[in-house]
A and B are shown apart, each in its own frame.
Chain A
């Protein structure tokens, strides 16, 4: 400033009367104008698409503004806080949620059957009511974490360790979420939880092996049961097949037997028809036919029964002289 005010001063042999006053007033005016413009300019602000703004006039909440360009009265009248409301925020329980850093350790909990575990959970939330979120509770993020911790403890001390490790995990998450949400609502923090997730459950090194063995034993049990099922699935169809085939065999026996009977009786009936026509002849014929068939192959002795003594000549020759 001074350089422009007194550009020629060093050259002048005689100091001129200072003309500083006028130029100083002008500079001050320019400065004041600039400051005023900046001051007024600072009162224009934008709210992003995922944000909401809360305006406090002299400390009192007067407006909640959505996305867009807005005007406010400059300091010290209005104060604006911008909060992301659609983005999901996270807080970790049992570990610090540093970006790029996985859950380490977790918080130590004791289950209902006095087992000690370490659990790390992540709570995600959105800001539902920015004014409440900003002004009704101190450090809401830390509060959410602490309350989730409480809910986890209260849930877990009432359940056996096996539930937590296996089937009950989802239920625990749900319960912690519901309970934490209920308390947050009661406190009026303007926070809506979107999820509670168990990130890790870890065991002390001295017992990890034993827990692993239980898992192995459960797998063994399943394997054994599957083996047995395989056996049953193999044996039973085979037995059914055998059963079916033996029934089928019986059925074919029956059919055969019946067919045979029908055949035989049909033959007999036909014979009988013939017989009825000429009983005596048929009888004799049949008899002789049968004898013809039989006698040639047997050894025969014919006895004259009327005398009842000497055997008849074998060859039916006339008795020797």
Chain B
């Protein structure tokens, strides 16, 4: 082999190796490979793996991310339907749906995000103007308006971005809702006033509850006592009645004798040392004296 032939062979081998190497393309699971032939997109490889292509000068590879991408649009101030200012920060998740259109209309990720940003801000502004701020902030029942609103923005942005840029807008969400700086002082003042009111309300509630419980207890006590008194009266009367019945039954056997013996007992009680008694001489005590014998001494 002449040196010339040797170098020629060497060169050939190198060129062949380069040609073979550049006609193979590895497509990762995270990407699309767009094959560009003289500035024009020839085809897009969506399937990950090892693929063949025309060697270097004929076809070039542009790799595009096929994963779900997220970006945060710039926060902006919006005016709601009821003229309230809201600062809204969103979150857009998107992916490249059509690499061809994406490459021809957008090119790279930065400009894609710039365009998405414009779309989202504009749509959000337009849609928000139709809703009152209570669609965002309310303490009522579950707000379907919120979802409807975000859904509308998403639908519009999805339609636009898909048609124009080959971008699939997967989701638009609200990351943060805030109030403009100039409103904050007012909000804090109002919060403070509200808290003051609530504190006062709690304290008066405590007071009221206290009185209620105490009064309730007092009333219950009165009730208990009254009931007890009634019960006691009833029992007392029952005792009296029972006693009366017993007496009546016993004494009814001989009312005269009862009268007689009871009168005697009563005298026993009525007549004490201070009593002055005028006894007729013919009183029963003396009845026996009345007759035959003259009274004897002593009493």
Contact residues in A for B146 (Cβ distance below 8 Å): 154, 157-158
Residue of B nearest to A109 (CB): B176
Of A10-18, A22-30, A32-40, A142-150, the stretch lying at the interface with chain B is A142-150
Neighbour of B26 across the interface among A59, A158, A258, A299, CB < 8 A: A59
The main secondary structure of chain A at its interface with chain B is helix
A219 to B117, CA, bound (A): 49
B window 112-171: CB within 8 A of A:
136-140, 142-143, 146, 170-171
Residue of A nearest to B240 (CB): A257
Contact residues in A for B273 (Cβ distance below 8 Å): 297-298
A58 to B47, CA, bound (A): 11
Contact residues in B for A256 (Cβ distance below 8 Å): 239
Shortest beta-carbon distance from B107 to chain A in Å: 18
Known: A228-B213, A250-B231, A268-B250. Is A113-B139 also a contact (CB below 8 A)? yes
Whether A265 and B246, one on each chain, are in contact in the complex, defined by CB atoms closer than 8 angstroms, is: yes
Shortest beta-carbon distance from B10 to chain A in Å: 17
| Chain A residue total in the interface (Cβ 8 A) | 118
Write the A240-258 contact mask toward B (1 if CB under 8 angstroms, else 0). Answer: 1011101101110111111
Write the B44-79 contact mask toward A (1 if CB under 8 angstroms, else 0). Answer: 000111100000000000000101111010000000
Write the A101-118 contact mask toward B (1 if CB under 8 angstroms, else 0). Answer: 000000111111111100
Whether A290 and B195, one on each chain, are in contact in the complex, defined by CB atoms closer than 8 angstroms, is: no
Whether B199 and A217, one on each chain, are in contact in the complex, defined by CB atoms closer than 8 angstroms, is: yes
A279 to B261, CA, bound (A): 12
Known: A138-B69, A221-B202, A303-B281. Is A294-B271 also a contact (CB below 8 A)? yes
Residue of B nearest to A284 (CB): B284
Contact residues in A for B65 (Cβ distance below 8 Å): 138
A257 to B271, CA, bound (A): 25
Q: Is B268's CB within 8 Å of the partner chain A?
A: yes
Whether A207 and B188, one on each chain, are in contact in the complex, defined by CB atoms closer than 8 angstroms, is: yes
Of A63-71, A121-129, A192-200, A269-277, the stretch lying at the interface with chain B is A269-277
Contact residues in A for B29 (Cβ distance below 8 Å): 56, 59-61, 131, 135
Q: Is A304's CB within 8 Å of the partner chain B?
A: yes
A158 to B251, CA, bound (A): 88
Contact residues in B for A224 (Cβ distance below 8 Å): 206-207, 209-210
Contact residues in B for A293 (Cβ distance below 8 Å): 268
Whether A136 and B68, one on each chain, are in contact in the complex, defined by CB atoms closer than 8 angstroms, is: yes
Neighbour of B243 across the interface among A138, A261, A290, A295, CB < 8 A: A261
Of A42-50, A84-92, A230-238, the stretch lying at the interface with chain B is A230-238
Write the B271-299 contact mask toward A (1 if CB under 8 angstroms, else 0). Answer: 11101111111111110000000110111
Q: Is A96's CB within 8 Å of the partner chain B?
A: no
Residue of B nearest to A216 (CB): B199
Whether A231 and B138, one on each chain, are in contact in the complex, defined by CB atoms closer than 8 angstroms, is: no
B window 166-198: CB within 8 A of A:
170-171, 173-179, 184, 187-188, 190-192, 194-196, 198
Q: Is B38's CB within 8 Å of the partner chain A?
A: no
Contact residues in B for A76 (Cβ distance below 8 Å): 26
Residue of A nearest to B135 (CB): A157
Whether A250 and B202, one on each chain, are in contact in the complex, defined by CB atoms closer than 8 angstroms, is: no
Q: Is B254's CB within 8 Å of the partner chain A?
A: yes
Whether B253 and A137, one on each chain, are in contact in the complex, defined by CB atoms closer than 8 angstroms, is: no
A213 to B227, CA, bound (A): 45
Contact residues in A for B210 (Cβ distance below 8 Å): 224-225, 227-228
Contact residues in A for B43 (Cβ distance below 8 Å): none
Whether B205 and A221, one on each chain, are in contact in the complex, defined by CB atoms closer than 8 angstroms, is: yes
Q: Is A288's CB within 8 Å of the partner chain B?
A: yes
Q: Is A2's CB within 8 Å of the partner chain B?
A: no
Of B1-9, B11-19, B97-105, B218-226, the stretch lying at the interface with chain A is B218-226
Whether A254 and B238, one on each chain, are in contact in the complex, defined by CB atoms closer than 8 angstroms, is: yes
A224 to B205, CA, bound (A): 9
Whether B232 and A250, one on each chain, are in contact in the complex, defined by CB atoms closer than 8 angstroms, is: yes
Contact residues in B for A303 (Cβ distance below 8 Å): 278-281
A254 to B234, CA, bound (A): 10
Whether A318 and B294, one on each chain, are in contact in the complex, defined by CB atoms closer than 8 angstroms, is: yes
A220 to B207, CA, bound (A): 9
Residue of A nearest to B295 (CB): A316
Residue of A nearest to B189 (CB): A206
Contact residues in A for B111 (Cβ distance below 8 Å): none
Residues of B whose CB lies within 8 Å of any CB of A are: 26-31, 47-50, 65, 67-70, 72, 91, 93, 136-140, 142-143, 146, 170-171, 173-179, 184, 187-188, 190-192, 194-196, 198-203, 205-207, 209-214, 216-218, 220-221, 224-225, 227-229, 231-236, 238-240, 242-244, 246-247, 249-251, 253-254, 257-258, 260-261, 264-265, 267-268, 271-273, 275-286, 294-295, 297-299
Given contact pairs A217-B202, A290-B264, A298-B271, enumerate 8 new A-B contacts (beta carbons under 8 Å): A138-B69, A232-B216, A254-B238, A255-B239, A261-B242, A261-B246, A290-B265, A318-B295
Q: 9 interchain pairs (CB within 8 A)?
A: A112-B137, A137-B70, A149-B91, A210-B195, A247-B228, A283-B260, A288-B285, A302-B286, A306-B282
